[in-house]
Chains A and B, each alone.
Chain A
């Protein structure tokens, strides 16, 4: 109601009550419907999210069929518990319960927005075995090739991420090189025309692996025992 309207005709108590009653009723009804639909869809949504994580997980850890959740804390790697906060880490096991690899999330700024990926790290070959793009807003047809281009994904079948002998960081930093210039196993062959997106992938993998690869190798027993 506008200011003039109020000045001309003061709102009668009956009208105030009527407005309060209507808004109260509609808001109550609204709350009821929202809670009802939230409760109904919650288990389905949780299941969908779990399936989405597992689909990505089994894609980046070849051979894995089951998973367990861990958390990277100041003390090392511990099994996930609701009150434990830290970087999430998923371990994938094969049918015999052998640890096939671990998966971690990594993120860096891309061309348009932050790119978030899940990558699989294989402690046996000390290399990255696969990536799956979880979220991106790269240009369709150009930057979004990081998710689908087979030649680019070929980089991540065995991308070396070997910890240095001193135990902190990697022996060779993961870098992206111009398309066709890849000569070392720790280099990523960039997509021609999508240099920024390719570099973002290299940067996020390098940052994450520098920090976590030595840690993962030092705590393998925790995850092997959990299967």
Chain B
């Protein structure tokens, strides 16, 4: 029983870069919001969460891509979930082995990578139709975009909320930290600000493209 039909496309730099900017999972697709808001209260938590998600994304999508011709489409979601859960469990043990403090800081959100829709979405929309090479490159791009987005939030929230970056104090003793930034509402504020900036950029680019189109039409 063949899986879904393949839709090959050449692997280019764009396969990777698309995940960072055009299809950024957080700022453009708004996927996986739960860890984005919950664990970005410090830069190190954000980085660890981003890297863990990237590993699960790349590893699980590689396996999905390798098995894509053998997975009957009726049980594909169940198969993807088993594969994703396996790699999440491995990451869970790995983080406990690396640092218990980090593990405690990330809490249940490591296990919750299983239900991160960004990863299942990539498996369904990309890995199940593409060969291994393209899947790995695309997964690294999307994972990189996710990590980048988490870091953008984590850095801003830690600098404003704790007056430090990666645990190193930035300001003098008399800096009054903006505590709300490391509390849940701060996550929404900073995410909102980043989305505003991203949308403004894209709108401006769109307008430029439109104007060029009009100019060409006129000439």
Contacts and interface: CB of A to CB of B under 8 A. Distances in A.
B75 A19 contact: yes
A23 interface: yes
B171 interface: no
A179 interface: no
B34 to A, nearest CB: 17
B164 interface: no
A194 B82 CA distance: 45
Interface residues of A, number: 29
A169 to B, nearest CB: 34
A26 to B, nearest CB: 5
**Interface residues of B, dominant DSSP:** helix
A52 B89 CA distance: 22
B183 A140 contact: yes
B94 interface: yes
Given A45-B96, A52-B100, A37 B1 contact: no
Contacts of A141: 161, 177, 179, 182
Interface residue range, chain B: 20 to 34
Contacts of A34: 86, 89-90
Contacts, number: 74
Interface stretch (B64-72, B125-133, B188-196, B205-213): B64-72
A142 B183 CA distance: 11
Contacts of A52: 100
A33 B59 CA distance: 12
Contacts of A19: 1, 72, 74-75
A14 B72 CA distance: 11
B93 interface: yes
A41 interface: yes
Contact of B72 (A22, A29, A40, A49): A22
Interface of B: 1, 41, 67, 70-72, 74-75, 78-79, 82-83, 85-87, 89-90, 93-94, 96-97, 99-100, 104, 161-162, 177, 179, 182-183
26 contacts: A11-B74, A14-B1, A22-B71, A22-B72, A22-B75, A23-B75, A26-B67, A26-B83, A27-B82, A30-B82, A30-B86, A33-B86, A33-B87, A34-B86, A34-B89, A37-B90, A37-B93, A38-B93, A41-B93, A41-B97, A45-B97, A48-B96, A49-B100, A139-B183, A140-B161, A140-B182
